Amino acid sequence: MPSPDNQYSAAEQALGYIYQIRYALFQTLKLPETTMCFIEKDDDIDFTDPEEGKLLASLKHKAPGDVLTNLSPDFWKSVYIWANYLNRQDISTESTFFYLFTTGRVSHGSLLESFLPTNQKKGDLVDNILEVLSTSKSKTINKTFQLLSKFSHNILTDFFRRILIFDCQERIQNIPTLIINELFRPIRLQFRRPVYERLEGWWLNECINLLAGQRNTPLRGLEVSERLGFIAEQFQDDSLPIDFEFAEPENDTSPATDKRYFVMQLRAIGLKSDRIRRAILDYYRAFQQRNLWMREMADLSGELETYDDRLTDEWDRLREVVFEDLSDSTPEDLLQKTGRELLNRLSTSGLPNLRIRPRVTATFVTTGSYHILANEALPRVHWHPRFRERMAEILMGGAHEDME
């Protein structure tokens, strides 16, 4: 936590930028699906809808207790940005509006109360604004005053008619709860938080792509709805969310030196390095995915245990078939080949009965789970036909280590 006395801390500024992204998601979920959203284009957030028009939104995440008065720089900085937009565009015939969303509160009796959505703007508002601004010695406010003075009274009247202040907005840490409580009611209660976290993770990544120039199209409301639907569908009785399909472990995979039981088992059947490297990835992804499921769904532990029992039973059933013709005189190369056949048939069959749930089709879940079972202190599954007789020899070579 940064110290409040640290003059170099940028915590508040950083919160402001994150607030833009999180608040943009909140508003996009509430606005029509035809809405298009840009971040840091003509303002903090730029919402455009073919029917509703254009909205330039400035966001201010202020310290608790902050109050906006007649000469609050935050408001007049935003007005300066909007007036520059007005200077470049003819908005007289357009549905263009300018909103300030702030966690602060507009001071009672101040001129800014005229911009609250519940109040009517008075006919002398333009004159009052120019008079107030003319008394300020602030360079920032003076720049705004000079720019506004270039416009006619009629243009300024129309311009100020389009400005609204929404004060006392939810603080950044409260927005997830607001979204979940107001917009996620069709989603089962126990899954709303993990669904939100996945949606926000996707949204953040898309915003980064937009800001980095890797995405040149706006974020769209329909796109958000479709992503939300896709995520929510994974939290159904016949499915589970998949989060680690393309995850990579922090440490490099080393098939030749890895001393975990499941890797030594694979080496014992002569599996090539590329296949072992893939097995290490599947193990890592399944390990991480299963742990996340357990953290998010407390009632899943029994289902995972049953799934492991089912995998073990299917392995045992197929092992009896594949190993049936082996004998005591079967040479080592054929033993290894038969072990690879057992592994291949369980890894590539895609049989529905090897899935934890019917719609969980990610291959790494099944294959990685088998490697987890092969990695136990007393492995429940094995690949080499003579594993039980030669277990000490096959698993010899180092202490048993788990990758987390």
Instruction: Classify residue 353 by burial, with Cβ atoms within 10 Å: 0-12, 13-18, 19+.
Output: exposed
Mean pLDDT of all residues in 134-151? 93
Handedness of CA 234, 235, 238, 244 (dihedral sign): positive
- What's the pLDDT score for residue 33? 96
Q: What is the helix (H) or strand (E) element at residue 309, kind and residue range? A: helix 301-322
Q: What confidence category does residue 401 fall into, taking pLDDT thresholds of 50, 70 and 90?
A: very low
Which residue(s) pair with 38 in the sheet? 46
Please name the residues in contact with 312: beta carbons below 8 A apart, sequence gap of 6 or more.
373, 380, 381
Predicted confidence (pLDDT) at residue 123 exceeds the cutoff of 70: yes
- Same domain? For 224 and 283 the reply is no
Residue 240 lies in a domain: no
Q: Among residues 271, 263, 268, which one has the least CA distance to residue 385?
A: 268
Quick: pLDDT tens for 75-113: 999 999 999 999 888 887 789 999 999 999 999 999 999
- What's the pLDDT score for residue 404? 43
- φ/ψ bin of 351: left (φ > 0), alpha (ψ from -120 to 50), beta (otherwise): beta
- Same domain? For 188 and 317 the reply is no
CA torsion, ordered 276, 282, 283, 289, to nearest 10 deg: 170
- Same domain? For 124 and 228 the reply is yes
- Same domain? For 191 and 284 the reply is no
- Same domain? For 46 and 140 the reply is yes
- Same domain? For 271 and 379 the reply is yes
Cα–Cα separations (whole angstroms), residue 359 to 82, 146, 196, 301: 50, 63, 21, 19
* Residue 98, both tokens: 């300018």
The span from the CA of 273 to the CA of 291, in Å, is 27
- Same domain? For 200 and 299 the reply is no
Residue 403 lies in a domain: no
Counted domains in the chain: 2
Q: Is the pTM of this model over 0.85?
A: no
Predicted confidence (pLDDT) at residue 335 exceeds the cutoff of 90: yes
- What's the pLDDT score for residue 4? 52
Mean pLDDT of all residues in 261-288? 96
Domain residues for the domain of 282 are 261-394
Domain-terminating residue out of 190, 213, 232: 232
Residue 3 lies in a domain: no
Predicted confidence (pLDDT) at residue 354 exceeds the cutoff of 80: yes
Task: Quote the percentage of the chain above a pLDDT of 90.
Answer: 82
Quick: pLDDT tens for 170-193: 999 999 999 999 999 999 999 999
- Same domain? For 189 and 287 the reply is no
Query: How far does CA 148 lie from the centroid of its chain?
Result: 41
The span from the CA of 53 to the CA of 61, in Å, is 26
Residue 6 lies in a domain: no
- Same domain? For 226 and 266 the reply is no
Quick: pLDDT tens for 19-53: 999 999 999 999 999 999 999 999 999 999 988 89
Question: ∠ CA(168), CA(102), CA(66), 5° rounding?
Answer: 70
Predicted confidence (pLDDT) at residue 8 exceeds the cutoff of 50: no
Predicted confidence (pLDDT) at residue 9 exceeds the cutoff of 70: no
- What's the pLDDT score for residue 6? 55
Residue 244 lies in a domain: no
Domain-terminating residue out of 189, 214, 232: 232
Residue 246 lies in a domain: no
Question: ∠ CA(148), CA(153), CA(158), 5° rounding?
Answer: 85
Please report where in the chains the tokens 């082996």 appear, as a residue.
326
Q: Which residue has the higher pLDDT, 298 or 270?
A: 270
Q: How many residues does the chain have?
A: 404
Residue 241 lies in a domain: no
- What's the pLDDT score for residue 304? 96
Domain-terminating residue out of 194, 213, 232: 232
- Same domain? For 277 and 219 the reply is no
- Same domain? For 193 and 269 the reply is no
- What's the pLDDT score for residue 10? 66
Residue 250 lies in a domain: no
Quick: pLDDT tens for 297-334: 877 889 999 999 999 999 999 999 999 999 999 999 99
- Same domain? For 161 and 300 the reply is no
Full 3-state SS string of 109-150: CCHHHHHCCCCCCCCCHHHHHHHHHHCCCCHHHHHHHHHHCC
Query: How far does CA 309 lie from the centroid of its chain?
Result: 33
The span from the CA of 404 to the CA of 395, in Å, is 20
The span from the CA of 381 to the CA of 253, in Å, is 22
